[in-house]
Amino acid sequence: MSDPITGLDLTRRLVAFDTINPPGNEAECFRYLAGLLEHGGYQLTWHDWRPGRPNLIARLPATEPAKHAPLVYSGHLDTVPLGQATWSEDPFAGEVKDGRLYGRGTSDMKAGVAAFVVAALRLAVEPLRHAEIQLIITSGEETGCEGALALAQTDLLGDAAALIIAEPTDNRALCGHKGALWMNLVHEGVTAHGSMPDKGRNAIFAAIESIDRLRRHDFGVQAHQVMGGPTLNVGNMQAGLNVNSVPDLARVGVDIRSVVGQTNAGIREDLQRLLGEEVRLEPLTDMDNVYTDFDDPWMKSVFATTEEILGAAAEVATATYFTDASVLKPAMGHPPTLIMGPGVMAMAHQTDEYCEIDRLDPCIDVFTQLGRDHIS
């Protein structure tokens, strides 16, 4: 019998697959993981939401009557592009240097996927299992959780007892993340010659009025004790064709990060009232916030496990980025949700992305213990 694969070896193998999104092309990477999991005793369900763009559900059945719903680990295999800057390391070679593993996707989030896959293979050899273990591996996360959204439209998902999303957190156990609502504010005007602006209606002037209203906008919610307050950023603007014409179209890109007590649907309604019906809100990304109270019994057990294995007191905190949990949590019955992975938060999407090798094994140990507690 061959030796079990290590977290480092598996991360390096996953990094070797070019899964940059767009275009994605995650299928080969999925097939490699599927082979490992099937050999380890997992039952596989494929969901091809686009050609060459699969999602994978891997189930390890209970050996005894199930005490509760499955524990679910989840992560994505697509990565962002390399960017314009030149990398000092080959982004697909998995080079190890000074305790770091370099490559696109090392931290976001192939190290996290490797960690829960290794943990899942350990759990597969447990002789008695009183609950199911489930892995949900997605594609298309980096372009707005497209794979997870497509999966949620099927009947393949059931309820979960708890959900673990292995995004990069430096091995911190986070109890949620802010929501993300990205929109274009579309302003339509009437074009005219630049020497006769009174004959037209200037869309840029209308956009400036909207921006001024946004600068003064109060969301009307108190800052959350853990997540903090909501934020709003105007990130870009496209308007006008030439200097000597009145512009008849202006788009303003807005990035809002929502917190507990808000819904994105409610925010959209508030902004429509603020800006007026003449401004069209064009949605780009719509991911609600995710939060599990730190007094939740399962979250308390997570903190106890991480403190014991990692040797550091748990810090109650949330992430600023969004994850597939925005889709999977409501689709699976709103289970308590942990955001935790060995990747370096600050290295996500960076040139010369890397993960710290010494964080892999402790994260695997945490994931394994949480699984053992669930199936015991």
CA distance 311 to 305: 10
Does 3 score more than 90 pLDDT? no
Band the pLDDT of 144: cuts 50, 70, 90.
Answer: very high
d(CA 288, CA 323): 10
Contact partners, residue 209, CB within 8 Å, separation at least 6: none
Average pLDDT across the chain, whole number = 97
CB-CB contact of 368 with 119 (8 Å): yes
Distance of CA 97 to the CA centre of its chain: 28
Q: What angle do CA 19, 22, 24 make, to 5 degrees?
A: 35
> What phi, psi does 255 have (nearest 5°)?
-120, 110
Confidence grade of residue 2 (pLDDT, cut at 50, 70, 90): low
- Model pTM score: 0.94
Token duo for residue 141: 């996360």
Q: How many Å from the N-terminal Cα to the C-terminal Cα in the chain?
A: 26
Of residues 186, 190, 193, the one with CA closest to residue 202:
190
